[in-house]
Amino acid sequence: MLSLFVVALAGATLLPGGSEAWLAALWCQGATPSGLWLTATAGNTLGSLINVAMGRYARHWEGKRWFPVSSQALARAEGWYLRGGELSLLLSWLPVIGDPLTVLAGIARLPWWRACLWIVVAKGGRYALMLWLAERFLAGYCE
């Protein structure tokens, strides 16, 4: 299960990776669904909170010559995020756009507890759906 936590954590950061196959493999090996759900949700949420922290810390580097994002781009990103609001974090489970949304939440200085709440709902819902799909469609294929 520790391996699932690490894979889920890495999959939620800006690093490439995905935990879906790992979750399915562990499910096929007989791991308890509740343990899989809790582990994957915790790891993926922590990975997204690392993104939030990176977004919050980006303001510390603002204006540095070596920093790849201009002050105008940071302000534009914050404005874009604020238009969508914190509920946009319900999409944090999506590939490609989910990770940047969590970074934008950090840039916009969304309070930690609210970021964590929306991310847990999104990630937990995704893993609950994946486990339901595994139960429904993979049961006959696991050996």
pLDDT digits (tens, 9 = 90+) for 97-122: 898 899 999 989 999 999 999 999 99
Give the domain range for residue 58: 2-137
- CA 48, 117, 17 angle in degrees (round to 5)? 20
Domain count, the chain: 1
The answer to whether position 102 is within a domain reads: yes
Token pair for 131: 């486990």
- 41 CB contacts (<8 Å, ≥6 apart)? 8, 120, 123, 124, 127
Residue 36 counted as domain residue? yes
Q: Is residue 142 part of a domain?
A: no
Going from the first residue of the chain to its last (143 residues), give the mean pLDDT of each consecutive group of 10, the final group possibly shorter. Answer: 82 69 90 96 94 89 81 83 90 89 92 96 96 90 80
What is the distance between the alpha carbons of residues 50 and 45, in angstroms, rounded to a whole number? 9
Residue 23 lies in a domain: yes
143 found inside a domain: no
Q: Tell me the whole-structure pTM to 2 decimals.
A: 0.83
**Within-domain flag for 22:** yes
| 74-84: pLDDT as tens digits | 888 888 888 88
In angstroms, the Cα distances linking 55 to 6, 62, 81, 131, 142 are 21, 11, 12, 31, 41
Domain-located, residue 66: yes
Q: DSSP per residue over 46-113, as a string?
A: HHHHHHHHHHHHHHHHTT-TT-SS-HHHHHHHHHHHHHH-GGGGGGTTSTTTHHHHHHHHHHTT--HH
Residue 62 lies in a domain: yes
